[in-house]
Structure 1
Amino acid sequence: MKVKKIPMRMCTGCMEMKPKKELIRIVKSPEGEVSVDLTGKKSGRGAYICKNKECLEKAFKTKKLNRSLETQISEEIFIKLREEVSDEQ
């Protein structure tokens, strides 16, 4: 029987490779709107974060999330992301 390949993605906070299902996808739509993509299927540029606050804080503080999404993320979007991450845990 063939072994199914598990898609791996890198967390922008801790820079560790983890299975895609263990991470939260943050997407910038073609219109420039940043949102949390819980399905992992929204169109646009995506970045992945672990489901803990430390990784989100680190990615935001070092501006890695801004660079990977190629946009400036406002404080209110960051607060919304923080609420989503705390809901996941």
Structure 2
Amino acid sequence: MGLATRKIPMRKDVLTNEMYPKREMVRIVKDKDGIISIDPTGKKSGRGAYVGLDPDAVKEAKSKKVLDKVFSHSVPEEFYDELFEFVDHQKARMDLFGDLSKKH
């Protein structure tokens, strides 16, 4: 018997339209009150979108107001800055430690 291969859940990065493994992405959610926030757990209710761990894509998204279009809602500039910091931090962790969610 061979090892069972598990399907890796993939999600589309709303900033680049590229597909990546879900665990290598950050979920952003707009709740029923229209508040947009980072969802590190992936469990908040609301309209979700995923972004990859690419700080440069976040910078470009800020200048083009990409998330405003994705959520059909005005996204504060501070949120883009917060997202940049979060993505930059997560990317650094991934580069340093590899995929933290894998169990050995």
TM-score by length of structure 1 reads 0.85
Structure 1 residues 22-61: Cα deviation after superposition (integer angstroms, max 9, x where no partner): 1111111111111101111110111111112112123333
Give the superposition deviation at 1:2: 5.3
Give the superposition deviation at 1:79: 1.4
Give yes or no for contact 1:12–1:55 (8 Å, CA) kept in 2: no
List gaps (5 residues or longer) in structure 1.
Answer: none
Separation in 1, partners of 2:4, 2:72? 38
Pick the aligned partner of 1:27 from 26, 29, 32. 29
1:43-82, aligned counterparts within 5 Å?
43-82=45-84
Q: Percent identity?
A: 39
Separation in 2, partners of 1:12, 1:61? 15
Give yes or no for contact 1:26–1:37 (8 Å, CA) kept in 2: yes
Separation in 1, partners of 2:23, 2:72? 23
The number of equivalent residue pairs is: 89
Separation in 1, partners of 2:34, 2:63? 21
Query: Match for 1:69: what amino acid?
Result: F
Aligned to 2:87: 85
